[in-house]
Chains A and B, each alone.
Chain A
């Protein structure tokens, strides 16, 4: 009986958590999971409710499988992700994780190429010029552009050059890969590291080791809030 109650609580907590994520917690969910997978999360919540219903239907013959002390760790383990969600909601993929995830060689960093066209519908609020530039930089060459991305000031970069990056998401944050453009600026300008910035300026393409990198010459820079959809895709 106690085990049934504990399992019911476990299933309820997960179901409520998923429903909350899909309704009030969307701004947190978008930082963890690609929106195209949200519907699967909805199905998961419904399945959990079905499990719960099957568990609470009175069953005269029910008897506990094993002693509670053997089952309790398993139940608590299933609650650990929800505990960690409280940290994940506040944390962000940043310059530290970029250093871990970007492919580097002795010649420098490699630019992750975005698929040549948008695979999935992009949210209206995404400000996706950044992705469009990375997808087809030549289309924007010589044009005035405005991008919102996260700054990276690194001593390994040449003088008066900074990077501006977003993470490209295909499924979830754990799979996300950094994609970046270069920013060239005057020596008087100091850019704060790891801040969301809105950059305006003309776009050019620079070549290095056979690869082409988009680069924006900064005409104006503004520090902004993190966008509602912080990914590139």
Chain B
């Protein structure tokens, strides 16, 4: 029996919802493991082809490896920082504050969420773990999705890189930010029409949002700072281990497509704006560029294609690409991801067609 004056032990972080408790969990994990094993086999075979005597194979694998490792090295620090921010939010941001501004009863929170990137500049690699943690913390799904889509566009760093790439063409900068904000808010508002948007989220994330780990209760908040920090780091670590593999899978797919697909001959397409906008948007999904670097790629097309097509590339890319779609799997159900993808793609496309029709040339 402990003596009365013995200090209470420092609470040690424990992952909540530790054991898979339903058939769905077990099935989903088994399926995930099977996909993982297939991926590992494919990755190993491709790795072996680098040592093939066939020069084409060896060259392809070499270029693929450069693309793959550089995407991972660029993205993983931001994802780690994102998980850390998520852990800090979980432990240190009071739930009432979240409820007040972005909670389930605050539909106007969508408009605030769309502009949060201005306060917290975030790239798309960091946004998924943060949003995952925000949902667990109680942020409404429409607001969380709105922040997820707008955060990598509506921020100062991206505005700056776009301005540099387009040699201070402020029209392009303004259009990119306002379109990013507009599309995200529209999709957030669409989601508010759902009777139960929580159903879009994976069961285990939704469960965590109900149970949490006790970080928010008053008793826990009385603990020492060190103890709270350890909890925050524990949350961040779990998020990294959960989301990190999807980042690798996404980067692998992106690098493969990037290596295998040449930049097309655009001259024939540029005469049809509706087609070239579509092509550039598909390219944005396939190329998986960082939102900080994509403006330089888009600007390299400025001699050839209309501004609306470049803008479509810049608005859609940070919201929807292959790497992101795989990372979304850690938060949302597959049907929800399909829904976001179709609605986001459609909204951006419609907006770009309107811009093409109504605005004079701006690049």
Contact = CB atoms under 8 A, between A and B. Distances in A.
Q: Which of B20, B62, B234 has the most chain A CB within a 10 Å cutoff?
A: B62
B275 interface: no
Given A74-B32, A107-B267, 16 more contacts: A40-B78, A51-B240, A54-B230, A57-B12, A61-B14, A73-B32, A81-B69, A81-B251, A85-B65, A88-B70, A96-B59, A101-B262, A103-B300, A103-B301, A170-B293, A174-B67
B40 A73 contact: yes
21 contacts: A40-B78, A50-B233, A61-B14, A70-B30, A73-B32, A74-B241, A81-B251, A84-B65, A85-B69, A88-B70, A94-B59, A99-B262, A100-B263, A101-B263, A103-B304, A104-B263, A105-B304, A115-B164, A116-B167, A119-B164, A172-B71
Contacts of A87: 47, 50, 61-62, 65
Contact of B248 (A50, A78, A91, A168): A78
B217 interface: no
A76 B261 CA distance: 28
Q: Which of A44, A61, A72 has the most chain B CB within a 10 Å cutoff?
A: A44
Interface in A33-79: 33, 37, 40-41, 43-44, 47-48, 50-51, 53-55, 57, 59, 61-63, 65-66, 69-70, 72-74, 76-78
Contact of B81 (A44, A91, A106, A112): A44
Contacts, number: 211
Interface of B: 12-15, 18-20, 29-30, 32-33, 36-37, 39-40, 43, 47, 50, 59, 61-63, 65-74, 76-78, 80-81, 83-84, 161, 164-165, 167, 230, 233-234, 236-237, 240-241, 244-245, 248-249, 251-252, 254-255, 258-259, 261-263, 265-267, 289-290, 292-294, 296-297, 299-301, 303-304
A73 B74 contact: no
A66 B165 contact: no
Given A59-B12, A77-B40, A88 B69 contact: yes
A171 to B, nearest CB: 4
A174 B59 CA distance: 15
Contact of A173 (B12, B70, B80): B70
B300 A177 contact: yes
A62 B14 contact: yes
Contact of A32 (B66, B81, B300): B66
Nearest to B160: A119
Contacts of B15: 65
Given A74-B36, A84-B68, A177-B297, A91 B77 contact: no
Interface of A: 7, 10-11, 21, 29, 31-33, 37, 40-41, 43-44, 47-48, 50-51, 53-55, 57, 59, 61-63, 65-66, 69-70, 72-74, 76-78, 80-81, 83-85, 87-88, 90-94, 96-97, 99-107, 110, 112-113, 115-116, 119, 168, 170-175, 177, 211
